[in-house]
Every structure is written in C-alpha cells, then in structure tokens.
Amino acid sequence: MASPSPCLLLILIVTLMAATEAVETETTASGPAGKKTYIVRVDHRAKPSVFPTHAHWYGSASFSGGGADPLPLLHVYDTVFHGFSASVTQDRAAALATHANVLAVFEDRVRRPDTTRSPQFLGLRNQVGLWSDSDYGSDVIVGVLDTGVWPERRSFSDRNLGPVPSRWRGTCETGPGFPASLCNRKLVGARFFSKGHDAAFAAGGGGINETVESRSPRDADGHGTHTASTAAGRHVFQASMSGYAEGIAKGVAPKARVATYKVCWKGSGCLDSDILAGFDCAVADGVDVISVSIGGGDGMASPYYLDPIAIGSYGAVSRGVFVASSAGNDGPTSMSVTNLSPWLTTVGAGTIDRNFPADVLLGDGRRLSGVSLYSGKPLAGTMYPLDYPGRSSGLSASLCMDNSLDPKLVAGKIVICDRGSSPRVAKGLVVKDAGGVGMILANGASNGEGLVGDAHVLPACAVGSAEGETIKAYATSAASPTVTIQFKGTILGVRPAPVVASFSGRGPNGLTPAVLKPDLIAPGVNILAAWTGSSGPTGLESDGRRTEFNILSGTSMACPHVSGAAALLKSAHPDWSPAAVRSAMMTTASLDDNLRRSVTDESTGRPATPFDFGAGHLNLDRAMDPGLVYDLSDQDYVAFLCAIGYDAKTVQVITHAPAACPARRPAMEDLNYPSISVAFNGAESNQSRRVRRTATNVGAGAGAVYQARVEMAAGQGLSIAIKPRKLVFTAGARRQSFAVTVTAAAEAAIGGAGARYAYLVWSDGEHEVRSAIVVSWMQPL
C-alpha cells in the first residue's frame, strides 16, 4: 500500500488533540449535557503561519478566543471542505458563528441509507463496446460512502487484477476482526468514521452496538456491501439469493477498484459530520468516482450551503471526481426527490426485465399476481383460512405492527397486512410470532401497483393496490375465505421494462426549479449483489439465515449503477470532466421500454415524465459516444449560486474559494445543464424565457454539423425556438453556443402549477443529443 495520505495525518493529529482534551477536562465518554455536534466552515487562508496545520490552529486557545477552553475537535476537513466539527454547547456554537474567520456553522444531522442482470440491461456486452474499450474500468477507483464492506465476498477478489493505480494514496484502517490484509488489489482501501456518531448519541444512548458491529470498516448492515458490489463487483459464477436470480453476478465496472468509507452505522444512520469526513478523505486518497446512496436527512430540502452532501460533493467535483447520489425513496409524491445540487448526478430507480412472481389463489378460484423472494418450505397447494385484521381490529392490526395481532384470531391462517409504517419483512415476523402460517402484503393507494420482492421469514407475497382490495373484499365477504400462495421462482424477459419504480423520488426540484431532478434513472428494483455475513437477508435480528448475495430495491441500488457507469466512461475518456460524464449519460438516455413504447410510471400506468425519470433510463451502449456534451466549470457553478441569490460569503461556504458575484445577477436557467427547466411566475399567458447553452463536440471527427429539432406532443401550448438551428464544429471551434426561447401561450397556463414537456434534439445523422425541456409554474421553496 502507498504511504499515508494527508487525510490520515489529519486524523492522527485530531485523535491526539482529542485525547489530550479528554485528560485535561475529565470529560466522560458520554460527554457533558447540553452539547451538540456542529460543523464549522472556516476561511482556511486566514491560518496564522505559527501553526503547522489547520488542525493545530482550530484546536488552539487563540482560535477559541483566548480565555475559552480549546475546542474538542471531532473531525478536521482539509480537502473538499475547510473547517472542523466539534461537540459544543449552543452558546459556544453561536459564539463561533461570530468569529472573524468562520464562514458558517450548522448543526450535525442524521441521515439514512436509501434503501446481475442489470449491466446487460444497461446495454453492456462482453468483448465489445464500453466494457472492452474501458478494460472494465480497471484503472478507475470508486469510493463508496455507506455502511462499510464485507471484504471476504468473492465480489471483492483481486484475482488476475493488475497493480493498484500508482496515484492511490489511501489506506486500510484496521479494527476488531478487520486486519489490513483484507484489503487487496480490488478493495484498495477501507476507512470508518464514528466520531460524529459517537458525539451525537453520547448522552441519550442508541449509538453503535458493539455486540453486533465492530469499530472497523466491516459492514454489519449489508447496504454498503451491496452498493459497492453493484458498482464494481467482480464476476462471480453460480451466484444467487437462495436460488433466486441464479447466474453470473457482476458489477457495472467489474475491474474498477473499490475504496469503502464507512460513514453509516447499523440501526442508527449516518451523521453529516462523518459523511463530510468521508468525502474529505476519499478525495485526498485519490478516488475518481464517489457513490453516495444516502438520503436527504429529514425530508426537507436544505439550502446548498447547509447541506454537507452538497458541500462535500462540490469539493469533490471541483477536483475532477464524479459524484452520484440516490434520489430518495419517497415517491411517487411530487417534489420528493432529494440530493438536488446541480453538481451531483441524482439517480432515480427503474425496473429491469427480471421478476420473481408469486400467485395468490383464492378459495373461489381466482388467481392474483404478486412477487416474493420466499425460499423456505412451500405451502404445496394447501388452502388455509384467510384473515384481514383491519376488518375489525383497527389501524395498528391492519398494518401488522408489533404486538397488534391476536394469536387467537390469526393462528393457523394466512394474514393480509397493509403496507406502511413498519418494514415489510417485519410485518411477516409479527404474523409468524402470532402463529400465522403466511402473509399477503397489500399495497396502499400511494404505492399503486409497484412491487418489490422480499426474502420473508414465512410464506408471503406482495400484491398491488388493486389486487389487495380484491383479496380484502373476498376476506370480508366470503363465509369461510381460504387462500394459498404459489412461488414461481425467477422469470426473465419481463415486458415492459424499464418502468419507473413507484418509490423513486420525483421532481420537480423544490429548491431550484431551474435544475431538473432527478437527472436520470437506472436499475433499482430487485437487484442481486453481495451481502454481509453478519445479517440475514431481511436484516431482522431474529433472521439467522446467511447468504452471500441478497436482492434489494431502492434508489440506493440505482445510484451505484451510475457510479459504475461513470467509472467505465472515465476510463474510456480520462479527459472528460464530471459534468461531461453526466451529460453523456443524460443526452443518450432511453425514453422507450423493451416494447418500444414510452417508459411508464409504475404508480399510475401512464407514460412517465421528466419529473419522474429526468432525462430517461441510463443506456451505456450510447453514452460512450454521445457526440456532444454540455460541460460545466467551477465558474459556471459560482454563477449559478449567484443567480439564486447567494452572496459572496455564502458562495464561499460551498466553494471554499473567494467568489465575486457580478453586479447584474445571472439567469439561473443559463447553467449549462444537459436538461432545460423553465419556471414561469404564476399562471399568466404569453410568458417567454430565453435560455442559453454551449455544446462541446467530443465525437471522433473534429468537423461535424448538427441540426436542431424540437419534439413535442400536440396541445402543449408552447412555442420553442432554437437559434441558430445549425451548429458547425471544426478542429478550431469545438464549442458552439445557442439559445432556446420558450414561450407559453394562454392554453399552457391552464391548470396553474401543471407542467409541459418537450425535447430538443441535435442530430448529425449519427448521434442524437437529446435534452428534456420542462416548463412549469412554480417558485422555489
């Protein structure tokens, strides 16, 4: 392994200073009452030369104000962010905010992870195309911020891999049961971050449970192992989850190197201060791609200058590191998308052409379709009494919450449980503990017909909202209702696919409507990938089963598909910026399913819109050669931040570099994004907006001529003009600018906050460079 990185040296300094502070003040492990963790952004240029490092300066009495005790530092940030985190009282945090060199102070928050056929579904093929042209990503390092890794899994084997890239500066941190020897030429680095976590839970308990999880990079939860192997797992033969999805498991970039940064802990989530430390170390270590399948905190969109994922990712992107993030699992509610920063690539979830069907057979002969990953003893066609607790026992029983079911009523029966309020698999355990022999999990109206498979602890099947209502009606109307469940294994070639998953976070972007989010969708439903050895496939404490692979669903699973895709594109095009990589994915994304019809929304059955799937579904067969890209620089992002009303000091909180906003505020819509989103004021008619874009020719030939066309359904009430309508590229003019003028006529304004959609396509006869155009009537939150 390479010599220790600057990140490791900072950790050593802070650890020594924190130990000294503990001795001097006799602070207990739980910490004094009334303290919280705060993240402090500092103008690092102001450090007095007498201090050898920023860590020494932050921990000194001079920084604390002379008479005050030195700050009890947790993390020092020195790469993507300049500053520190510390556990202090609210009064002291307020005092820090007045420090001449402090740019911002914000409170630490808890976040949660957004919980092998898919590479082929993305258009990847052996021996040809992007896999072969990038050597499967062998020279790229993917950093994964998550719950850690189970390094012994075959997905992290380094067999036949070449040397670790010489630029790698990371390390393999050790801990109980995690020696440095577990890292190799595949798993090149592993770190863990718990100081913010420890400080947050010091007073109230509920922190790291060291009986089930060690203070090491080892993954006790499974989420991190799953996402890391989805992005970059090796080819593994005879892979399956208890017989389901049998075949060869592989990540999107099978030869890419993996560095894992454990910032989330089983059962208690991820602290912003630890996430920011993970970003800081990942960039200092030398990763090329960062994958962050972590949600947006409390569900409310924070301003970019108060969002550590936004701040950390900006620091990474400004250094050439591509960052992918999950769009959240709160769909299909409008404006539920998270991770909204324009420098992040925000990924929603879609289905693939594989399913795990199960049928519900009612006593009256009707057969209803569902899904399941149950792998235990089947019911073998035996009919059992059917019971719906919600008929007479109230809401808690209808949801099969803990201690809500009366064993006298459900023993020996198959029980209908409504989805919501508790984990799907936990409902099955409640039924089992009450003596039930099986469960039918029924979607509510908000979930629609969207289904995901679960490895239930008893015979169980999930059904859509319509099927659920049919079964409940039968259970409440028949004199002696009976039912059984048939499990049908794995089915390939499912049509239509992809479909936008009902849970996938949806637009519009409530923070800055001029930036369309999510950016695109990728496979995120029923994804097979490696799993931890310390937890069963349900994640329940009582689940004693162990499996090498597990099947999960969520935008957490979609995000690493894009991270792996970025690794391949960075390997094939090492000179591309993170914005160019994202542009290539977005402008070549698919709008059609495998029936050659428009991709549909699982929750409604209707065609999906850009608010549902952004630019469309990731298609790597086309992304390698997009023709044109929409590139972005630090200056472009600064102009965008000025455009949304941030002053120079607020911009510096994000960019950690001095910024000057122009006297005339730029237009936020002019950010050179691969999609175009225009938000008009109110429902007035005949409003017009001009948006500017600059395209860069990255095609094989220096000379190219592109013609513009607009695709738009009839009756949109929009007029869209492109000027010029022809772009001519030469060896000396690889960048060309154009303007898009969008005018909304009176009929477009009908419905107020509704939206209208169109597409701008630039074509040279070989490439189709497509940008979504969204027109809405809303104001940012």
Tokens of 265: 């802990």
Whether 561 and 350 have beta carbons less than 8 Å apart is answered as no
The two tokens of residue 23 are: 């001795």
Q: Would you place residue 435 in the very low, low, confident or very high pLDDT band (cuts 50, 70, 90)?
A: very high
Return d(Cα 557, Cα 573) in angstroms, integer: 25
- Other Cβ atoms closer than 10 A to 20: 12
| 104-118, 137-151, 566-580: least confident range | 104-118
pLDDT digits (tens, 9 = 90+) for 252-287: 999 999 999 999 999 888 999 999 999 999 999 999
In the residue annotation, 764 being an active-site residue is answered as: no
The answer to whether 287 and 144 have CB atoms below 8 angstroms apart is: no
CA distances to 156, 183, 192, 314, 347 from 769, in Å: 36, 41, 41, 26, 20
- The pLDDT of 128-154, averaged and rounded, is 82
Does 134 have pLDDT greater than 80? no
Tokens linked to 524:
């995120």
pLDDT, one tens digit per residue, over 284-314 is 999 999 999 998 655 567 899 999 999 999 9
Could you tell me whether strands 141-146 and 110-111 are parallel, antiparallel, or unpaired per DSSP bridges?
unpaired
CA distances to 52, 370, 441, 469, 483 from 472, in Å? 70, 15, 11, 5, 12
Percent of the chain with pLDDT over 90: 73
Closest by CA position to 471, among listed 447, 442, 445 = 442
- DSSP code string of 66-124: SSSPPP-EEEEEESSSEEEEEEEEHHHHHHHHTSTTEEEEEE--EE-B----HHHHTT-
DSSP H helices, 145-215, are 195-200
- How far apart, in Å, are the Cα atoms of 241 and each of 489, 527, 550, 724? 11, 10, 5, 54
The answer to whether 49 and 105 are in contact (CB under 8 A) is no
**What is the four-CA torsion angle of 626, 628, 633, 637, rounded to 10 degrees?**
-90
Residue 76 has pLDDT above 60, yes or no: yes
CA separation for the pair 83, 62 (Å, rounded): 15
Mean pLDDT of 89-99: 91
Residue 701 has pLDDT above 80, yes or no: no
Name the DSSP class of 457: S
Catalytic residue among 43, 78, 114, 146: 146
Strand order in the sheet with 264-265: 110-111, 269-271, 264-265
- Beta-carbon contacts of 322 under 8 Å, excluding residues fewer than 6 positions away, are 288, 289, 290, 345, 563, 566, 570, 578, 581, 582
Partners of 640 in the beta sheet? none
What pLDDT digit, counting tens, does each position of 317-368 carry? 999 999 999 999 999 999 999 999 999 999 999 999 999 999 999 999 999 9
Catalytic residue among 54, 82, 223, 235: 223
Q: Which residues pair with 583 in a beta bridge?
A: none
CA nearest 356: which of 538, 227, 485, 225?
485
pLDDT tens sequence across 206-243: 678 888 899 999 999 999 999 999 999 999 999 999 99
In angstroms, rounded to a whole number, what is the distance separating the alpha carbons of residues 473 and 691? 54
The conformation of residue 771, written as its DSSP 8-state character, comes to E
The one-letter code for the residue type at 266 is K
Long-range contacts of 736-740 (CB under 8 A, 24+ apart): 736/694, 736/695, 736/697, 737/692, 737/693, 737/694, 737/695, 738/692, 738/693, 738/694, 738/695, 738/708, 739/690, 739/691, 739/692, 739/693, 740/676, 740/690, 740/691, 740/692, 740/693, 740/773
Kindly indicate the confidence band of residue 244, based on its pLDDT and cuts at 50, 70 and 90: very high
SS3 annotation, 472-522: HHHHHHCCCCEEEEEECCCEECCCCCCEECCCCCCCCCCCCCCCCCCCEEE
Instruction: Identify the band that residue 455 occupies on the pLDDT scale cut at 50, 70 and 90.
Output: very high
Could you count the other beta carbons within 10 Å of the beta carbon of residue 765?
9
Long-range (24+ apart) CB contacts under 8 A made by 691-694 are 691/667, 691/739, 691/740, 691/741, 691/742, 692/737, 692/738, 692/739, 692/740, 693/630, 693/737, 693/738, 693/739, 693/740, 693/771, 694/630, 694/631, 694/735, 694/736, 694/737, 694/738
Which member of 85, 341, 556, 571 is catalytic? 556
- For residue 607, cis peptide bond before it (omega within 30 degrees of 0): no
Q: What is the pLDDT of residue 24?
A: 31
Cα 667 to chain centroid distance, Å, stands at 28
In the numeric block, which tokens belong to residue 691? 């948006």
Catalytic residue at 56? no
- Under the banding of pLDDT at 50, 70 and 90, the label for residue 584 is very high
Q: Angle 251-552-143 (CA atoms, 0-180°, nearest 5)? A: 45
pLDDT tens-digit readout, 371-397: 999 999 999 999 999 999 988 878 899
Please determine, for residue 11, whether its predicted confidence score (pLDDT) is greater than 80. no
Q: What is the mean pLDDT of residues 533-544?
A: 90
Q: Are 570 and 576 in contact (CB under 8 A)?
A: yes
Residue 126: the pLDDT is 54
Does residue 116 or residue 487 have the better pLDDT? 487
Q: Among 187, 146, 203, which residue's Cα sits nearest to residue 29?
A: 203
Active site residue 223: yes
When comparing pLDDT for 134 and 696, which is higher?
Answer: 696
Out of 192-201, 472-481, 763-772, least confident range? 192-201
Cβ atoms 570, 167 nearer than 8 A: no
- What the chain holds in terms of domains, given with CATH numbers, is 35-107 (3.30.70), 136-353+498-620 (3.40.50.200), 357-489 (3.50.30.30), 672-778 (2.60.40.2310)
Cα distances (angstroms) measured from residue 558 to each of 9, 508, 537, 561: 34, 19, 19, 5
pLDDT score for 19: 37
Q: What is the pLDDT of residue 747?
A: 53
Question: How is 648-703 classified by DSSP, letter by letter?
Answer: HHHHHHHHSS-----SSPPPGGGS--SSEEEEESTT-SSEEEEEEEEEEE-SSSS-
Could you give phi then psi for residue 102, rounded to 5 degrees?
Answer: -95, 125
Whole-angstrom distance, CA of residue 271 vs CA of residue 279: 13
Question: CA 174, CA 172: separation in Å to the nearest integer?
Answer: 6
Q: What are 644-685's pLDDT values in tens digits? A: 999 999 999 999 888 889 888 999 999 999 999 998 876 566
At 577, list the tokens.
């910026």
Q: CA dist 658 to 637, 648, 662, Å?
A: 13, 7, 13
- For residue 442, the surrounding DSSP H or E stretch is strand 438-442
Q: Tell me the residue length of the chain.
A: 781
Q: Tokens at residue 438, please?
A: 């099986």
- The answer to whether 578 and 320 are in contact (CB under 8 A) is yes
Looking only at the bridges linking them, the beta strands covering 35-42 and 102-107 are antiparallel
Rounded Cα gap, residues 362 and 346, in angstroms: 42
Q: What is the mean pLDDT of residues 82-96?
A: 91
Neighbours of 596 (CB within 10 A): 7
